[in-house]
Amino acid sequence: ALAVGPEGGLSDRDRATLHAAGFRGLRLGPRILRTETAGLAAIAALQALYGDLG
């Protein structure tokens, strides 16, 4: 599963909740991406690193 936070960042409470649910943190660099594109960028980066996930 992939959780994408808002453009302003996640609150400490949000981070704690996600961590408790088993999520690990990941940053896509210093850029601030729109929420609509951040998920697509993350999936594209994972596919570039690990190959097709199908």
pLDDT tens digits, one per residue of 19-53: 999 999 888 888 889 989 999 999 998 898 888 76
Half-sphere exposure of 33 (CA within 13 A, CB side): 14
Note whether 42 and 26 are within 8 A (CB). yes
Output the pLDDT for position 53.
Answer: 62
Output the pLDDT for position 14.
Answer: 96
pTM: 0.70
Output the pLDDT for position 46.
Answer: 87
Note whether 18 and 3 are within 8 A (CB). yes
Residue 3 has pLDDT above 80, yes or no: yes
Domain spans of the chain? 12-50
